[in-house]
Structure 1
């Protein structure tokens, strides 16, 4: 059975699942290659406009790196050249990814969440970067992405104490967009958020996402203005730029081409 599954669902949405519940969905070589392949597949499929990433089972979204693999000297298999850890955390993606956090997301699991664009989580979910407990560091983006996502002093406390942030507080800090009561409602809530995105002009969504991702990157105002201008020009050159106003005037739903 594949360690990562990809389901293409109605409404231009894909569901990607890390399927190692017996190992708390920890990342091994199969997960890394599987997630990279999932990114390849969803990027290449023009019919997919938003992607949901989740973990199998009820206990864990992802427990991070499979330490059995690391201790056996196979740690390099947990990352790929293009994507970094899990084949995902540094991978460039043009489409929005939503983390559907069905349980604890710790260490590399939190780093996977931080690499996504939006987060839906169950109330029993928790986040944390406990690497220092093992004499390690969160080297897959967590050390700088977490302080951007939540108040820096809270992030620093979590990083240095190996503490955990429960989903309720994470929602209060803005790390979690939507909070649901149980795993049964998680998939529905995450897919509903994906559907809200997928109904919009795909070129406009991709270009908006490209600019918004750079908001806290350190680019100065002039660089961000230039990036926004480039994004607008790309949108203006698309068929969707004409279709949106036309559909409004004709009082019908737009028929996006994504081109």
Structure 2
């Protein structure tokens, strides 16, 4: 279901961003261990756990977290670009307590999103992280009262959607791909991604709109 929604997100020109949330006051409490014991995996070929962790969308994805984001649920959050969390929500990767490893992105993504010592504490002990502490470390963009995460996440997604789609897509791509680039090559290697944006109709429209003091009309071209 998530995989199909993400494919639609990237395929449709009228969609600029999306929000991923749970139901019933819980984002996702993780993998069903009974199903795991029976040999079942919530894995979508080509996209990984939950249809997301191995192939996030090209367009921005905001997580709206209420309640628990545990194990695989937290790994879904880590595959998103921005996070809005409710007061009282909890993040954890308790896999080591069950004799397994957070291999759906948890172990490799968490140290990139938190200070190394904090990430290792979570990964090696299974201890949880509160929403406010996650916000303190920059993992969460905004903490809101319970029940308000979806409207807050939608507002954040709409703020993204106000901007030029080619520029947004290129910016997200650069953030992700440049993590592995050598420091001395950063500026040169961005050119093939940024040059088409500067040559686009939207870039010209952005300049015209600024000069005329009006809202730009983006075409994605």
Query: Over aligned residues, Cα RMSD in angstroms?
Result: 1.3
| Aligned mate of 2:32, from 53, 66, 89 | 66
Q: Give the distance between the partners of 1:73 and 1:145, measured in 2 at CA.
A: 25
Aligned to 1:237: 199
Q: Give the distance between the partners of 1:114 and 1:83, measured in 2 at CA.
A: 14
> Structure 1 or 2: larger strand share?
1
* Residue 92 of structure 1: how far off its partner (Å): 4.3
Aligned to 1:83: 47
Q: Give the distance between the partners of 1:85 and 1:176, measured in 2 at CA.
A: 22
Q: Give the distance between the partners of 1:254 and 1:147, measured in 2 at CA.
A: 38
Aligned to 1:27: none
Unaligned runs of 5+ in 1: 1-33
Asked if the contact 1:171–1:179 (Cα under 8 Å) also holds between the matched residues in 2, the reply is yes
Asked if the contact 2:209–2:215 (Cα under 8 Å) also holds between the matched residues in 1, the reply is yes
Taking CA–CA contacts closer than 8 Å with sequence separation of 6 or more, which of the two structures ends up with the larger relative contact order?
A: 2
Count of paired positions = 221
TM-score normalised by L of structure 1: 0.82
Taking a change above 3 Å as real, the CA distance of residues 65 and 223 of structure 1, as seen in their structure-2 partners, is farther
Asked if the contact 2:56–2:79 (Cα under 8 Å) also holds between the matched residues in 1, the reply is no
After superposition, give the CA deviation of every residue in 1:122-146 in whole Å (9 maximum; x if it has no partner).
Answer: 0111111100111010011110211
Residue 54 (structure 1) aligned with residue 21 (structure 2): yes
Aligned to 1:43: 10
TM-score normalised by L of structure 2: 0.96
After superposition, give the CA deviation of every residue in 1:40-80 in whole Å (9 maximum; x if it has no partner).
Answer: 1111111110111000111x2111112232122222xx112
Q: Give the distance between the partners of 1:136 and 1:226, measured in 2 at CA.
A: 41
